[in-house]
Amino acid sequence: MLGGFDIRDVTVDGVAVHALVGGAGPPVLLLHGYPQTHAMWHRVAPALARDHTVVAADLRGYGDSAKPAGGPDHAEYSKRAMAADQVGLMDMLGYERFAVVGHDRGARVAHRMCLDHPERVTRAAMLDIVPTRHIFANVDRDLAHGYYHWFFLAQAPDLPERLIGADPEYYLRRKLAQWSADTASFAPEAVAEYVRCFSDPATIHASCEDYRAAATIDLEHDDADAAAGRRVECPVLALWGSRGFVGGHYDVVAVWRDYAADVQGTSVDSGHFPAEEAPDATTRALTDFLMD
């Protein structure tokens, strides 16, 4: 999916992290969302690589990265652990400071990275999310309907694993259709890659652990930061799909300004997947932000 990019497989504190690297210039780390892999950047990464060294990585639990078993406290899938993986990856690639662009779960990892490793992140783009803490603090009927999977996937093992595992391809395709504004936007090769990876029972379990962590240990970390008055200090771009749930339900920039000191924001004409549904507009917004 990313021709001309080199495959890099590294081990960070015993966790294998899979990534592709291409281009030249200031480094930028791209982090995907659920239920996808680094392949979601296939329409954006090559354009960014004209002026940047682009690292497109699989989060732990997804794609071809390692899938730890998890445990009762879900710490192995905390955004703190997932962010540390990616900082370690950038260390091994030789990048002390870098920009990060995250979509969906990857943006939640990017948010935690900015808080835990502020000296490493030069700027951060958050695609189609508002912070986890804000979502859980403002649950209403629309959220419960639109984000039902947050509560389903966070159920104790192995209920969601068994139900999704009965037909993982159907489930994945149904999620892409439900959250996008136009399913024709997805490249068949990308969807085939998502299906390949998501059909692994270990990936299904890991992704559930990701959401269990969000409802437990991640909130503990977020509450501690809020109590201490910690916010994201680097420049933040909030970018969202104008036809998705996030854009229709939140004042995205206003919410992010409660969590970050320097926020700009814009929407693109898409559903939840701007990088695939509106790649040109997404690339322009990211390029302007990264070159600012």
β-partners of residue 260 are 232
Which string of b and e fits 206-235 if b means at least 16 CB within 10 Å? bbbbbbbbbbbbbeebbeebeeeeebbebb
The whole-angstrom separation of Cα 194 and Cα 171 is: 11
Of 58, 64, 85, 104, which residue is the catalytic one? 104
Neighbouring C-alpha atoms within 13 Å toward the C-beta of 92: 18
Look up residue 59 and give its DSSP letter: P
β-partners of residue 11 are 16
Of 32, 38, 74, 272, which residue is the catalytic one? 272
The whole-angstrom separation of Cα 33 and Cα 249 is: 19
Question: Active site includes 288?
Answer: no
Question: Active site includes 280?
Answer: no
Residue written as token pair 């149904």: 174
Active-site positions? 104, 272
